[in-house]
Amino acid sequence: MSRSVLFLVAGCLGLAACASDPEPTAQMSAAELAVGQLADTSAPTYALEDTHLARRKLEDAHRAVEQAENVRARRLAEQALVDAQLAQARTDAALAKKNLTELQASNDALRREAASSSPTR
Amino acid sequence: MMMGRPIVHAAGLVALGAALAACAATPPAVERARSSVSAMHQDPLVTQHAPVAAARADEALARVDAAAQGAANEAELNHLAYLVDRRVQIAEEQAAASDAQARIDTLASDRDQILLDAERWQAARAEARADSALAAARAARDRNAALSAQLADLQGKQTERGLVLTLGDILFEVDGAALQPGGQEQVRRIAEAVKAGGNDRILVEGHTDNRGTEAYNRDLSQRRAAAVRDALVQDGVAPDLITVRGRGEDYPVATNDTAAGRQQNRRVELVIGAPTA
């Protein structure tokens, strides 16, 4: 008797938990957008691992939504978002550093050239 | 101060124990999130270049703290701590990107300066080249002016016989007939003038002073005049326009009693536009 009541209570709590975790629509679309934007960038070149991670988590989030595992779906979507943003940030940093190095080399070459053609004083 | 009161002392121990228990109860994920955010705030690049991203990391940490205060399970705490960790990394990458970009901006203005300097140097070099070209042109003009002056000197004597140009003794080798380079140059100028002026006839007369025998002087004056003729021909004057005479010492233009006078007498005269040979 008391055991079955306990199960009932636990069951209700479980249902309540399910009902109070709606489908993470906002998180899904934010992750979708961020992961989608990576396709147009050099992220696959400069942050391959994080790009893969974000894509895989977004796919897993979709599957979790289909299976009504809304908590898992929300976590996966939230993680896919930050993974995608990190991939973007890493890419931006890598590109900026690459440009910096190239510009430094180019300036050095220009300086040498200018020095060799400058009037002797 | 509490040492003398055992009851209070015991209460203190209990409180300490509770605090330790609370510490031990803090999930490691939460601890890691807190320390990574506080480390992020120590990074001056993040503070300077990525304040917005840093604020997002702070918000993520606030979610962790709120969840830890509530009854969140370990899976949720680990998830939220993961978000914090990624937000901190995003802030650091953005700071690195902005820092690199700031350096790029500096290098770009360096580059402009280098190019500007190079242009200035090139302009200065071009100017120096132009200056030396101008100097060369001026030197050439001065040289021409000097030659013209020399020629004008020679042309100074219009006589009834025609225009008489005189080549002085110093234009010939000592006691010989060969023209010195200066003499050759003057003959060349005269030849140019004659060719340009319509090919007048030219009488070339050699003269000497009265030192030495008359025969020697006549021969020397003849050879000097011939040397001038040869030079004129070499410079393009038609040979049949030229007549050569060795006058010897018979036609002095100055006294033979002084060295200066004798030098004036040793000469070759070119009579241009002479009526007949």
Residue A4 banded pLDDT, cuts 50, 70, 90? low
Taking a contact as any Cβ pair under 8 Å apart, which residues of chain A between 49 and 88 contact chain B?
A: 75, 78-79, 82-83, 85-86
Residue B1 lies in a domain: no
Residue B218 banded pLDDT, cuts 50, 70, 90? very high
Q: Are strands B242-246 and B162-168 parallel, antiparallel or unpaired?
A: unpaired
pLDDT value of position B70:
87
Pick the closest to residue B192 from B140, B151, B252 (CA basis): B151
Report yes or no: A107 at the B interface, CB cutoff 8 Å.
Answer: yes
Q: What is the pLDDT of residues B36-80, one digit of tens each?
A: 999 999 999 999 999 999 999 999 999 999 999 987 899 999 999
| A45 min Cα distance to partner chain B (Å) | 16
pLDDT value of position A37:
93
Residue B132 lies in a domain: no
Residue from the list B79, B100, B108 with its beta carbon closest to the beta carbon of A93: B100
How many percent of chain B have pLDDT more than 90? 44
Residues B230 and B164 in one domain: yes
Structural domain total, chain B: 2
Burial group, residue B184, by CB count within 10 angstroms (0-12, 13-18, 19+): middle
Residue B18 lies in a domain: yes
- Using an 8 Å CB-CB cutoff, list chain A residues near B98: 96
CA-to-CA separations, B159 to B97, B165, B202, in angstroms, rounded: 95, 10, 14
Residues B85 and B15 in one domain: yes
| A104 min Cα distance to partner chain B (Å) | 7
- Answer yes or no: do A107 and B101 touch at CB < 8 A: no
- Using an 8 Å CB-CB cutoff, list chain A residues near B122: 117
Residues B253 and B170 in one domain: yes
Q: Is A109 helix (H, G, I), strand (E, B) or coil?
A: helix
**Cβ B57 vs Cβ B40: under 8 Å:** yes
Secondary structure letter of residue B172 according to DSSP = B
Instruction: List, in sequence order, every residue forming a beta bridge with A29; answer none if it has no partner.
Output: none
Residues B13 and B93 in one domain: yes
**ipTM confidence:** 0.80
Report yes or no: A101 at the B interface, CB cutoff 8 Å.
Answer: no
Taking a contact as any Cβ pair under 8 Å apart, which residues of chain B between 221 and 240 contact chain A?
A: none
Rounded CA-CA distance B83/A77 in Å is 11
Q: How many C-beta atoms lie closer than 10 Å to residue B45's C-beta?
A: 15
Name the domain boundary from B65, B80, B102: B102
Residues B89 and B185 in one domain: no
DSSP H helices in B155-213 = 181-196
Q: What is the pLDDT of residues A15-64, one digit of tens each?
A: 444 446 899 999 999 999 999 999 888 888 999 999 999 999 999 999 99
Residues B174 and B266 in one domain: yes
CA-to-CA separations, B105 to B16, B95, B110, B178, B251, in angstroms, rounded: 55, 15, 9, 77, 90
Q: Is the pLDDT of residue B171 over 60?
A: yes
DSSP per residue, B53-110: HHHHHHHHHHHHHHHHHTT--HHHHHHHHHHHHHHHHHHHHHHHHHHHHHHHHHHHHH
Residues B157 and B94 in one domain: no
pLDDT value of position B167:
87
Residue B117 lies in a domain: no
Residue from the list B86, B122, B125 with its beta carbon closest to the beta carbon of A83: B86
**Cβ A58 vs Cβ A76: under 8 Å:** yes
- Answer yes or no: do B94 and A113 touch at CB < 8 A: no
Q: Is the pLDDT of residue B130 over 50?
A: yes
Supply angle C-alpha B229, B235, B241, rounded to 5.
Answer: 50
Residue B56 lies in a domain: yes
Q: What is the pLDDT of residues B233-277, one digit of tens each?
A: 999 999 998 999 999 999 999 999 988 888 889 999 988 876 654
Residue from the list B93, B108, B110 with its beta carbon closest to the beta carbon of A93: B93
Rounded CA-CA distance B57/A76 in Å is 18
Pick the closest to residue A30 from A68, A57, A66, A3 (CA basis): A57
Higher pLDDT, B79 or B129: B79
Residue B1 banded pLDDT, cuts 50, 70, 90? very low
CA-to-CA separations, B264 to B55, B163, B166, B178, in angstroms, rounded: 107, 18, 10, 18
Lowest mean pLDDT segment, chosen from A15-29, A81-95, B166-180, B205-219: A15-29
Q: Is A119 helix (H, G, I), strand (E, B) or coil?
A: coil
Quote the tokens at residue A97: 């550093």
pLDDT value of position B86:
97
Residues B174 and B94 in one domain: no
How many percent of chain A have pLDDT more than 70? 79
Q: Is the pLDDT of residue A6 over 60?
A: no
Cβ-based contacts under 8 A for chains A and B: 81
Structural domain of B160: 151-272
Report yes or no: B117 at the A interface, CB cutoff 8 Å.
Answer: yes
Residues B16 and B85 in one domain: yes
Taking a contact as any Cβ pair under 8 Å apart, which residues of chain B between 244 and 263 contact chain A?
A: none
Residues B81 and B158 in one domain: no
pLDDT value of position B201:
85
Residues B157 and B86 in one domain: no
pLDDT value of position B3:
44
| A82 min Cα distance to partner chain B (Å) | 6
pLDDT value of position B181:
86
Residues B96 and B19 in one domain: yes
Q: How many C-beta atoms lie closer than 10 Å to residue B48's C-beta?
A: 12
Q: How many C-beta atoms lie closer than 10 Å to residue B4's C-beta?
A: 7
Domain CATH number, residue B218: 3.30.1330.60
Residue from the list A79, A93, A107 with its beta carbon closest to the beta carbon of B96: A93
Q: Is the pLDDT of residue B178 over 70?
A: yes
Pick the closest to residue B188 from B146, B142, B230, B125 (CA basis): B230
| B76 min Cα distance to partner chain A (Å) | 8
**Cβ A44 vs Cβ A66: under 8 Å:** no
- The mean predicted confidence, pLDDT, of chain B is 84
Quote the tokens at residue A81: 């978002």
